[in-house]
Amino acid sequence: MSIHRLNVVLFSCLLTVLMVAPAQAGHHEKGPVKDAIVLAAFGTSYPEALKSILNIRNKVEKAYPDTPVKLAFTSSIIRDIWHERQNDTAWQKKNAGVPADILSVKGPLATIADLQDEGYKAIAVQSLHVFAGEEFSDLTQTMIGLRSIRALKAKSVPFKSLRLGRPALGMPGDVYPYTDDIADATKALKADVDAAKKMNAALVYMGHGNDFFSTGIYAQFQSEMQKTYGHPIFVACVEGYPAFDDMLVNLKASGSKKILLKPFMIVAGDHASNDMAGDEDDAWKVMLTKAGFDVTIDLSGLGSVDTWADIYVRHLKDAMAQTHMLP
């Protein structure tokens, strides 16, 4: 077996162990173990786009009304923007609907640490990422590191359990086949396909993608959408494969003249507003229009779609249901 193949197998095994096994904690603890939930999203600096993340949080809070639910943003740049707004009273007045906790939002590590300091020892972290890319990999390594903490006295082990819920399009491993997750995601977006069909338009999604991980799952998702709905549906990425040019070749071959263009991202933030729907020459709307297509923009993030938000609730439920202990 090659070194590269061995590394892939080992990483997959680590992910599976993290998914199915809570951290061991000490005995002789007084009172019930306190549970908490952390929703880990990349984040957004756009107040309007924030509604997509809040929609997911609302659904999780309804599913677990007795468990505190905290938001964490994995992007330090996004967190810094919100922190700067804490002292900007003029901005806050114009954006009165932004929840106070967003202004002080932290990363997953700090959020988990705060909860542990408050006495919460059973923490489930649900990824709000689309696929298992760079952000999810970093989140996974953080969880693995926290789960490795040991102490001389069993009562001093900081966590009873730390569980991680998989992204919308799944993750490596055989516990939950990612192909099933792709099928579920396809069903969740039926309303988008219906809207495109009503317009007699092709459906085109802009995904974020990644330069450091394989983004072939986007192409697989596209294939599943086309197979399920029998309609011209295309997905391309800001970073990685399929790129815009890859998508454009197939789009032209489809014979479609109209396009419904939507973000394949949790939020319709900077990428959706500028790279997709902006007025610069390299914006997708502009390039598609110049290519002869009649483009309709729908600036709504995946998190605002209830059927998509429900995916994360189900994945969180799967994570919380795991009971196997580490050896």
What is the residue extent of each domain of the chain? Answer: 3-175+307-321, 190-302
Chain center to CA of 264: 11
Please compute the mean of the pLDDT values over residues 140-156 and round it to a whole number. Answer: 93
- Kindly tell me the burial class for residue 230, based on how many C-beta atoms sit within 10 Å of its own C-beta (0-12, 13-18, 19 or more): exposed
Strands 34-41 and 294-297: unpaired
- Cα dihedral: 171, 69, 101, 42 (round 10): 0
Closest CA to 58 of 50, 47, 72, 69: 69
pTM, to two decimals: 0.89
Residues 215 and 219: their CA atoms lie apart, in Å, by 8
The per-residue pLDDT for range 99-139, each reduced to its tens digit, is: 999 999 999 999 999 999 999 999 999 999 999 999 999 99
Asked whether the predicted pLDDT for residue 180 surpasses 60, the reply is yes
Tokens encoding 179: 């192909």
Q: What is the separation, in whole angstroms, between the first and last Cα of the chain? A: 27
Closest CA to 157 of 70, 319, 38, 28: 28
Asked whether the predicted pLDDT for residue 28 surpasses 50, the reply is no
Residues 127 and 166: their CA atoms lie apart, in Å, by 6
Predicted pLDDT of residue 26? 42
Region of 31 (left: φ > 0; alpha: ψ -120 to 50; beta: rest) is left
The per-residue pLDDT for range 275-306, each reduced to its tens digit, is: 999 999 999 999 999 999 999 999 999 999 99
DSSP, collapsed to helix, strand or coil, labels residue 64 as coil
Residues 6 or more apart in contact with residue 106 via CB below 8 angstroms: 72, 73, 79, 114
Asked whether the predicted pLDDT for residue 17 surpasses 80, the reply is no
The per-residue pLDDT for range 202-257, each reduced to its tens digit, is: 999 999 998 888 899 999 999 999 999 999 999 999 999 999 999 999 999 999 99
40 near 108, Cβ under 8 Å?
Answer: yes
Asked whether the predicted pLDDT for residue 14 surpasses 90, the reply is no
166 near 19, Cβ under 8 Å?
Answer: yes
Among 3.40.50.970, 3.30.465.10, 3.40.50.1400, 3.10.180.10, name the CATH number for the domain at 190-302: 3.40.50.1400
In sequence order, which ranges of the chain are alpha helices (DSSP H)? 3-20, 50-63, 76-84, 89-94, 100-103, 108-117, 134-147, 178-188, 190-199, 216-229, 244-254, 270, 284-290, 306-321
Predicted pLDDT of residue 20? 46
pLDDT above 70 covers a percentage of the chain that reads 89
Closest CA to 181 of 165, 195, 192, 197: 165
Please compute the mean of the pLDDT values over residues 69-96 and round it to a whole number. Answer: 96
- Kindly tell me the burial class for residue 267, based on how many C-beta atoms sit within 10 Å of its own C-beta (0-12, 13-18, 19 or more): buried
Asked whether the predicted pLDDT for residue 78 surpasses 60, the reply is yes
Sign of CA dihedral 188, 272, 213, 82: negative
Could you confirm whether domain 3-175+307-321 is CATH 3.40.1350.10? no
Least confident of 6-10, 41-45, 79-83, 170-174: 6-10
Residues 6 or more apart in contact with residue 111 via CB below 8 angstroms: 38, 70, 71, 72
